């Protein structure tokens, strides 16, 4: 079976060389999805994926690139054809210049896609089929990528475990009694288990980095506004970003490079600050040396509050080991305090529900989604459709948001929280004037047991205490796997100033190349 | 205001959870925010404008109506208001 966790650039080369077809990659993805059904990472298959693969294969054939169609489609680094690759590089046609040629990918089910339903894992959108597609998905397809499936999530992105999905929990491939994290838990589990080459997720307070950390993969939350959110179902619009979940920093940087930039369909997008966000693969021969010189003299600030009491010893040990390896590689390590982060959760849980209550007001049972057939008046259509369609967590957040925005409470809660957001944001910015990047754990523990926090919403909210500050500040952050604690993955969180993705990715690549290799138990 | 019809059981459960929630967020009340400006846009963008020009939609009326639970003559049908 083709291993879809291999570096994307290598798989693309294989497709370009005709050693493997797009159809074979998509079929490998479908086979793996079928074999991993128990994970419940995927909600729906794209029925057009094989047709799209065939179209790409025809284009490649027409471009006359069917060289070296070998007898075996097996992909190993030792394959003797690698030596021949440089000889054919110059012959690529346009289709073969596509950077994701034939690569199967998965998106979280809050991305609008053609050919499948888009449910946000909520009953209220169960019947919904979008007439248009997210900009991010379009950009990936324009590079030859093939959407194979939609991934499970906490409904509308509300949660840290995927237990809030209306369609059932996703299991962590490292330990099926544990959660994959959330809310992009289906995306993370899918990538970790090799169901596709990469996945897209969204991150409003933790939702890319936490599941990446719990599932032992790379998760990148870019600077707010760097990637268009057109066609992605909104949660908290002053926080939401979309980003890749991938098997390596190099893969994540390639996906970011393809998606980043201004989009007239999303007025909050910002200009790209770099021609390329791509970093070299850590397996390429010179990259270790390059990375080493790249972190030489860089200042790394360890967030003091993230390494204190309440953080599991096993998590702390892996984070400290990764920091020590950075020090050996030439980085200068200092301790940084961000005391206002103590206010981050309270601030976040006022502002985000407020934005949620506004964004979810569009679900009215009239234009799309679930509609209560028994309603007799317009008001009943609203009340019954929303009561039947939304799950408990969405209702909880809508009620909180409506409360903090209501007249009489607006200044005391909403406006107050907006001011505290300024204070927290400034403290992160000042810290990042002193150091190049900040580091710490993503969460106080590794993946927790299914059901452990499900009945206590506040306990679940506390999972994100080290992650929401980044979203309040709008800065980029990445989770990189650094080792195991009691057999479960630990990820380090690296943060940089707004639009400092280049630096962030460079350091992340170094951390990755120095980290012990983690093998998913079979 | 939120237009969600909750049953009695849900109301009881939510009341309990929301009062715990208020305890969590009340810690902000003791923070001195005098002289601090509120943040609502983190990258500093203000008033993003485009030319006031009509552009034809790429989607047809039929496509836009496909998800409507009830429709008639190309319009979305709703229940009576009162």
pLDDT digits (tens, 9 = 90+) for A469-480: 999 999 999 999
Q: How far is A23 from chain B (nearest CA, A)?
A: 30
pLDDT above 50: residue A84: no
> Given A131, A347, A413, which is nearest B59 (Cβ)?
A131
Question: What's the pLDDT at B3?
Answer: 87
B contact residues 14-73, partner A, Cβ 8 Å cutoff: 14, 17-18, 20-21, 24-29, 31, 33, 36-43, 45, 48, 50, 58-59, 63-64, 66-70
Q: Which positions in chain A touch B41 (Cβ < 8 Å)?
A: 238, 268
pLDDT category, A68, cuts 50, 70, 90? very low
B25-72: per-residue pLDDT in tens? 899 999 999 999 999 999 999 988 889 999 999 899 999 999 999 999
- Widest CA span in chain A: 73
Catalytic pick among A108, A150, A453, A503: A108
Q: Is the pLDDT of residue A319 over 80?
A: yes
Q: What is the pLDDT of residue A79?
A: 36
- State the pairing for strand pair A437-441/A332-336: unpaired
CA-based nearest residue in chain B for residue A238: B41
Q: What is the pLDDT of residues A173-206, one digit of tens each?
A: 999 999 999 999 999 999 999 999 999 999 999 9
Residues of A in contact with B6 (CB under 8 A): 387, 395
pLDDT of residue A82: 34
Residues in chain B: 82
Which of A300, A299, A294 lies closest to A510 in space, CA to CA? A294
Indicate whether A89 pLDDT > 80. no
CB–CB contact A131 B64 (8 Å):
yes
Of B21, B25, B43, the CB nearest to A498: B43
Q: Give chain A positions within 8 Å (CB) of B37.
A: 419, 422
Query: What's the pLDDT at A285?
Result: 44
pLDDT of residue A88: 36
Average pLDDT over residues A434-448: 97
pLDDT exceeds 60 at position A67: no
Question: A27 or A88: which carries more pLDDT confidence?
Answer: A27
Q: How near does any CA of chain A get to the CA of B8, in Å?
A: 13
- Please judge whether B33 and A416 are an interchain contact, meaning their C-beta atoms are less than 8 angstroms apart: yes
Lowest mean pLDDT among A36-45, A156-165, A450-459, B28-37: A450-459
Are A252 and A477 in contact by the 8 Å Cβ rule? The answer is no
CB-nearest partner of A367 from B10, B37, B68 = B68
Output the pTM of the full model: 0.92
More confident call, A88 vs A258:
A258
pLDDT for the residue B14: 87
Query: Residue A87: pLDDT band by 50, 70, 90 thresholds?
Result: very low
Which pLDDT belongs to residue A136?
Answer: 98
* Crossing angle (nearest 10°) for helices A416-434 and A344-359: 120
The active-site residue out of A36, A122, A160, A183 is A183
Distance CA(A336)–CA(A301), nearest Å, equals 5
Compute the half-sphere exposure of residue A230: CA atoms within 13 Å on the CB side of its CA.
Answer: 19
- A165 pLDDT tier (thresholds 50, 70, 90): very high
pLDDT at residue A281, rounded to an integer: 58
pLDDT at site A522: 75
Active site residue A108: yes
What is the pLDDT at residue B7? Answer: 85
> Would the pLDDT of A91 be above 70?
no
Residue A289: band (very low, low, confident or very high) from pLDDT cuts 50, 70, 90: low
Q: Is B2 on the interface with A (CB under 8 A)?
A: yes
Separation between Cα atoms, residue A326 and residue A319, nearest integer Å: 11
Q: Do B78 and A457 touch (CB under 8 A)?
A: no
Active-site position among A122, A160, A161, A207: A207
Distance CA A167, CA A497 (A): 37
CA angle A146, A149, A154 (to 5 degrees): 135
pLDDT band at B2 (very low <50, low <70, confident <90, very high): confident
In the predicted structure, residue A228 carries a pLDDT above the cut 90: yes
Cα separations in angstroms, A37 against A33, A110, A152, A154, A362:
6, 20, 12, 18, 33
pLDDT value of position A458: 86
Confidence at residue A280, expressed as pLDDT on a 0 to 100 scale: 73
Nearest to A306 by CA among A158, A179, A431, A414: A431
Residues in chain B with CB shorter than 8 Å from the CB of A222 are: none
pLDDT (0 to 100) of residue A90: 37
Chain A residues closer than 8 Å to B74 by CB = none
Q: Which pLDDT tens digit goes with each residue over A114-157?
A: 999 999 999 999 999 999 999 999 999 999 999 999 999 999 99
B1, B20, B41: residue with CB nearest A458: B20
User: Looking at residue A99, what is its pLDDT?
Assistant: 97
């Amino acid at each position: 079976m083709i291993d879809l966790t291999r570096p994307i650039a290598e798989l693309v080369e294989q497709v370009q060389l005709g050693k493997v077809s797009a159809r074979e990659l998509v079929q490998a993805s479908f086979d793996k999805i079928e074999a991993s059904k128990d994970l419940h990472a995927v909600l729906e298959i794209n029925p057009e994926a094989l047709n799209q693969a065939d179209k790409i294969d025809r284009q490649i054939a027409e471009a006359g690139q069917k060289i070296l169609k070998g007898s075996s489609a097996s992909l190993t680094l030792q394959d003797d054809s690698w030596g021949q690759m440089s000889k054919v590089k110059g012959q690529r046609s346009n289709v073969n210049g596509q950077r994701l040629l034939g690569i199967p990918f998965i998106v979280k089910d809050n991305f609008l896609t053609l050919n499948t339903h888009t449910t946000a894992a909520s009953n209220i959108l169960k019947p919904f089929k979008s007439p248009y597609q997210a900009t991010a998905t379009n950009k990936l397809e324009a590079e030859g990528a093939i959407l194979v499936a939609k991934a499970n999530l906490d409904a509308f992105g509300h949660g840290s475990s995927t237990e809030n999905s209306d369609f059932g929990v996703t299991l962590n491939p490292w330990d099926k009694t544990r959660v994959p994290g959330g809310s992009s838990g289906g995306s993370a589990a899918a990538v970790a288990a090799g169901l596709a080459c990469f996945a897209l997720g969204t991150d409003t307070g933790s939702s890319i980095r936490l599941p990446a950390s719990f599932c032992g993969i790379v998760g990148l939350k870019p600077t707010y506004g760097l990637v268009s959110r057109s066609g992605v179902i909104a949660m908290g619009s002053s926080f939401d970003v979309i980003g890749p979940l991938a098997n390596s920093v190099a893969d994540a940087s390639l996906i970011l490079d393809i998606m980043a930039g201004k989009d007239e369909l999303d007025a909050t997008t910002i200009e790209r600050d770099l021609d390329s966000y791509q970093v070299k693969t850590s397996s390429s021969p010179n990259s270790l040396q390059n990375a080493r010189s790249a972190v030489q003299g860089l200042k790394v600030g360890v967030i003091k509050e993230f390494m204190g009491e309440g953080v599991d010893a096993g998590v702390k040990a892996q984070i400290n080991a990764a920091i020590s390896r950075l020090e050996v590689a030439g980085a200068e390590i200092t301790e940084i305090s961000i005391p206002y982060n103590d206010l981050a959760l309270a601030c976040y849980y006022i502002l985000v529900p407020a934005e949620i209550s506004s964004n979810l007001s569009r679900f009215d049972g009239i234009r799309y989604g679930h509609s209560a057939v028994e309603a007799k008046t317009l008001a009943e259509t609203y009340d019954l459709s929303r009561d039947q369609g939304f799950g408990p967590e969405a209702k909880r957040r809508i009620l909180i948001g409506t409360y903090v925005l209501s007249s009489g409470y607006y200044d005391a809660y909403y406006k107050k929280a907006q001011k505290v957001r300024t204070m927290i944001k400034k403290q992160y910015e000042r810290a990042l004037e002193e150091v190049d990047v900040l580091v710490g754990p993503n969460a106080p523990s590794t993946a927790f047991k299914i059901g452990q926090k499900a009945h206590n919403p506040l306990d679940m909210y506390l999972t994100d205490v080290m992650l929401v500050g980044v979203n309040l500040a709008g800065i980029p952050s990445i989770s990189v796997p650094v080792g195991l604690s009691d057999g479960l993955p630990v990820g380090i969180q690296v943060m940089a100033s707004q639009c400092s993705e280049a630096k962030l990715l460079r350091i992340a690549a170094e951390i990755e190349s120095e980290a012990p290799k983690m093998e998913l138990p079979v | 205001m939120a237009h969600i019809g909750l049953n009695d059981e849900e109301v009881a459960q939510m009341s309990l959870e929301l009062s715990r929630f208020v305890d969590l967020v009340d810690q902000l009340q003791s923070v001195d925010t005098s002289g601090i400006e509120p943040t609502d846009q983190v990258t500093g963008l203000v008033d993003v404008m485009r030319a006031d020009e009509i552009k034809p939609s790429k989607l047809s009326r039929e496509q836009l109506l496909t998800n409507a639970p009830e429709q008639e003559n190309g319009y979305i049908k709703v229940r009576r208001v009162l």
